[in-house]
Amino acid sequence: FPAENIRNFSIIAHVDHGKSTLADRLLELTGTISSNHSHQQVLDKLNVERERGITTCSMFYKYKDKDYLLNLIDTPGHVDFNYEVSRSLVACQGTILLVDASQGIQAQTVANFFLAFNEGLTIIPVINKIDLPAAEPDRVINQVESTFELDTSEISLISAKSGLGVDKILPSVIEKIPPPSGDVNKPLKAFLFDSWYDTYVGVICLMEIVDGKLQKGDKIVSAYSEKMYEVIDIGIMHPEQFTTGYLHAGQVGYVVCSMKVAAEAHVGDTFYHIKNPVDPLPGFEPAKSMVFAGVFPIDTNEFNRLDESITKLTLNDASVSIQRETSMALGQGWRIGFLGTLHMDVFKQRLEEEHDANVIITQPTVPYKIVYRDGTAKLIRNPTEFPEPMELQNKLSELQEPMILATIILPEEYMGSIIDLCGSRRGEQIEYNYMDESRVIMKYSIPLAEIVTDFHDELKSRSSGYASFDYEDMGYQISDIVKMNVLINKKPVDALATILHRSQVANVGREWAKKLSEVIPKQLYEVIIQTTIGGKVIARETIPAMRKNVTAKCYGGDVTRNIELPQKAFYDFLSKG
């Protein structure tokens, strides 16, 4: 296929707007899969293996007597994966911006639009679900015009479900999206935009060949790690791996090379032929964990088995970072870093469902930054690493926390309630605009720490499910953060230490003490729970002894006796959120 007969494109959409359904229709239309349901299962199987989204796939299509190779490139469908989405978009020259005719533009539509716009892609807006009784295509067309300033004069109105209008999509992909501009005669430049782990063959990478030619047996080098690999198998996804033995400039396909673990496949990395280095594509960032949590087995005898399970799961997921952690209260465990909270939930779910694990996951924390007067800085990924105020005296320059830029789209009537929510989460409004007469788009800067717990759930419940939310990284900002300790009978419980903004200490301190007093069962002696900051007590609760007179006799009122906080109490406390 000469480059002018190739189109590389993706579909971007808010969750549930119909991306997978449209992709299925396009694969059927091109005969890549047949429309009976056994093939649907093929896709599902790939889905299960890959965990996110539809799969990247090549299609053959005849248009005006010419044969085209159309490569549909998958983009992950969630806010935690914005960097991955942006890299997938680099491998395309254009994208279909799919919007649900009944829901209109949502936060992820906006975020994805700007990712595509910033990559300079051709954007084809398409309105889906026009078969729904609640569809308001005209209103959504207006939103697309006013929000994105896109030309809607030839906009496609489709139903991906019934297939109505879907036949117009591929012709417009061919007419509107430019072919890839690579040069097959230049040295190899291959761009890695996705990867997964296959139990049989190991790491499978998806790459776009930007320039040159890559074939089986070639030795290639990662521009990021400078590691060398040999290509063992190469071909296109159709819809599963189909060996071709080579890929040319402009083509997109899979590459199996001697890569042992998924962590070596860095999304956004560039590969070149050994002895023939090229400039890597710009925009590469190593995977960056933004949410950390301690994970501990409920039954400490399970440690080794769980260690194996966690290693297996990380084999499959390059974006998880992992370290051993020992807690006095919870024993041996791991500190795991995730891209975001959804990522964390998925990991936890897989651990529980696929590996039958019973684990305690500590309160998630974000990476805080301590900047010292001598100019050095330290990232704190675990509250136990946070120095006590005394240790910082005369050394501290400033404390910083990571911020995000949130985009929230909602019907006007919920504005008050959502503004309150953002305010209570230390958010600052940056701007708001009307998308049409009743829908508002608001931008907030909010500390990441404030959205990692229940922000999304709160947003949904306060807006009856109508508000949508997306965010991007905004770097670090000075912040008055402190470490709060929890003391049980005067002894700090390491796994319950947490980092907070000073303004929240009084509330959270009281709340935690109270909640702990509810989950810790009565003991034979009195149990005192305290929350403290730098040695100062914020709140105190007392659980009286089971039977006072007996205890007094046995223990002589020794209130400093250590109690082993039962694992169950931890579990109850932490899972209550």
The SS3 assignment for 539 reads strand
106, 159, 489, 530: residue in contact with ligand GTP (rule CB under 6 A):
159
The smaller minimum CB distance to ligand GTP, of residues 158 and 403, is found at 158
Binding of ligand GTP by 160 (CB under 6 A): yes
Burial class from Cβ neighbours inside 10 Å (0-12, 13-18, 19+) for residue 465 reads exposed
Binding of ligand GTP by 21 (CB under 6 A): yes
Binding of ligand GTP by 112 (CB under 6 A): no
Pairing of strands 481-488, 498-501: antiparallel
| Rounded distance between C-alpha atoms, residue 346 and residue 523, angstroms | 37
Binding of ligand GTP by 20 (CB under 6 A): yes
The smaller minimum CB distance to ligand GTP, of residues 161 and 176, is found at 161
Q: How far is the CB of 331 from ligand GTP (least distance, A)?
A: 38
Residue linked to tokens 């933004």: 290
Pairing of strands 321-327, 270-273: unpaired
Q: Which two tokens stand for residue 142?
A: 């207006």
Distances in Å between the alpha carbon of 297 and those of 327, 357, 362, 565, 571? 12, 8, 11, 15, 11
Q: Candidates 14-22, 166-174, 193-201, 355-363 — which segment interacts with ligand GTP by CB under 6 A?
A: 14-22
The smaller minimum CB distance to ligand GTP, of residues 163 and 331, is found at 163
Q: What is the 3-state secondary structure (H, E, C) of 260-319?
A: CCHHHCCCCCEEEECCCCCCCCCCCCCCCCCEEEEEEECCHHHHHHHHHHHHHHHHCCCC
Report yes or no: 212 and 273 within 8 Å, Cβ to Cβ: yes
The smaller minimum CB distance to ligand GTP, of residues 160 and 500, is found at 160
42, 114, 142, 161: residue in contact with ligand GTP (rule CB under 6 A):
161
Binding of ligand GTP by 17 (CB under 6 A): yes
Q: Candidates 157-165, 228-236, 253-261, 430-438 — which segment interacts with ligand GTP by CB under 6 A?
A: 157-165
User: Residues touching ligand GTP: how many (CB under 6 A)?
Assistant: 16
The answer to whether 104 is annotated as binding is no
Binding of ligand GTP by 18 (CB under 6 A): yes
Tell me, residue by residue from 114 to 143, as one string, x for binding to ligand GTP by CB under 6 A and - for no binding: --------------xx-xx-----------
The smaller minimum CB distance to ligand GTP, of residues 112 and 222, is found at 112
The answer to whether 16 is annotated as binding is yes
The answer to whether 129 is annotated as binding is yes
The answer to whether 134 is annotated as binding is no
The answer to whether 299 is annotated as binding is no
Q: How far is the CB of 206 from ligand GTP (least distance, A)?
A: 18
The SS3 assignment for 457 reads helix
Report the C-alpha dihedral over residues 553, 554, 557, 558, rounded to 10 degrees.
Answer: 160
Q: Which two tokens stand for residue 50?
A: 């890959």
The answer to whether 75 is annotated as binding is yes
Q: Which two tokens stand for residue 439?
A: 């829908």
Report yes or no: 441 and 467 within 8 Å, Cβ to Cβ: no
Site residues (CB under 6 A) for ligand GTP?
Answer: 13, 15-21, 77, 128-129, 131-132, 159-161
- As annotated, the binding site includes 13-20, 74-78, 128-131
- As annotated, the binding site for GTP includes 13-20, 74-78, 128-131
